[in-house]
Amino acid sequence: AQSVTQLDSQVPVFEEAPVELRCNYSSSVSVYLFWYVQYPNQGLQLLLKYLSGSTLVESINGFEAEFNKSQTSFHLRKPSVHISDTAEYFCAVSGSGGSYIPTFGRGTSLIVHP
Amino acid sequence: DGGITQSPKYLFRKEGQNVTLSCEQNLNHDAMYWYRQDPGQGLRLIYYSQIVNDFQKGDIAEGYSVSREKKESFPLTVTSAQKNPTAFYLCASSIGGSRVGELFFGEGSRLTVL
């Protein structure tokens, strides 16, 4: 079985400061990893994904995540956040046991203060 | 534009009533999903369907029913047997195959039981 742990339920940060949202997964086989973002009262949007190849993946709005197989982690980072980054962020894993259906973490609420 | 349409966005229901949430997609995706979102609990899978006329239970299927008569449509019925139906419901779809686990979400339907 696969599972995802997002270690922080809420992360407050000031605008232009760096941020890291932590995600650890459990699986004994190769997996696919995702970060989704959800703005209030909306659906989720894919932010970035790791399927294979380079362990560092980037999004178009400055976020990046690094797949670390030895630590079973896929932490999300941004060097300088904006007020508009305030949202809920979900880490997800799929591929374990042949299942393509993703398992989601509980989410991390990123709150950016001016 | 291609996407997933959920309706209604907000719905109020009296206890004991069944209610059906609509989900339509024009992305030509094979797989469709229903998730339930509660604060602090992430997304939990209710039902999913890989092809027309076939669907499987997810982790929390009790009190819910679905149908998949057309590729584009995957409605969810919340029955009176669901003991705590107040939640935010999200419909999603995926291509499947190499796009393992990458989901496209609708805007969600918020159900409140009075």
pLDDT in tens, B38-71: 988 889 999 999 889 999 999 999 999 999 999 9
* A42, A92, A107 ranked by CB distance to B101: nearest: A92
Q: Which two tokens stand for residue B33?
A: 């999903």
Percent of chain A topping pLDDT 90: 64
Instruction: Say which of B42, B92, B110 has its CB closest to residue A90.
Output: B42
A102 and B106 in contact by Cβ < 8 A? no
Confidence of residue B96 (pLDDT cuts 50, 70, 90): low
Dist. CA A61–CA A52, nearest whole Å: 21
Q: B43 CB near a chain A CB, below 8 Å?
A: yes
Report the percent of chain B where pLDDT is more than 70. 94
pLDDT at A44: 94
Question: Could you tell me which of B33, B25, B34, B31 has the C-alpha nearest to residue B1?
Answer: B25
Between chains, do B106 and A51 touch, taking CB under 8 Å as contact?
no
Strands B109-113 and B10-13: parallel
Interchain CB contact of B39 with A (< 8 Å):
no
Q: What is the pLDDT of residue A1?
A: 72
Test the A interface: residue of B43, B47, B57, B99 with most A CBs within 10 Å = B43
Residues of chain A neighbouring B106 (CB-CB closer than 8 A): 43
Q: How many residues does chain B have?
A: 114
pLDDT average, residue stretch B106-113: 94
Q: Which among A54, A48, A45, A29 has a CA at the least distance from the CA of A88?
A: A45
Q: Name which of A94, A95, A104 is nearest B42 (Cβ-Cβ).
A: A104
Q: Which of A11-20, A92-101, B2-11, B95-104 has the lowest mean pLDDT?
A: B95-104
User: pLDDT value at position B99?
Assistant: 55
Q: Report pLDDT for A59.
A: 87
In chain A, the largest separation of any two C-alpha atoms, in whole Å, equals 44
Provide the residue count of chain A: 114
Cβ atoms of residues A78 and A85 within 8 Å: yes
pLDDT at residue A69 in the model = 87
Closest chain B residue to A9, measured at CA: B40
Q: Is B106 on the interface with A (CB under 8 A)?
A: yes
Confidence band for B34, pLDDT divided at 50, 70 and 90: very high
What pLDDT was estimated at residue B61?
Answer: 96
On chain B, the residues whose CB falls within 8 A of the CB of A36 are: 103, 105
**Tens of pLDDT along B15-30?**
889 999 999 999 999 9
pLDDT digits (tens, 9 = 90+) for A15-63: 999 999 999 998 767 788 999 999 988 899 999 998 878 888 888 889 9
- What six digits make up the tokens of A43? 């659906």
Q: Quick check: B96 contacting A, CB < 8 Å? A: yes
- Among the partner-chain residues A93, A94, A106, the one whose CB lies closest to the CB of B41 is A106
Q: Which residues of B touch A100 (CB under 8 A)?
A: 94, 96, 100-101
- For position A66, what pLDDT does the model report? 93
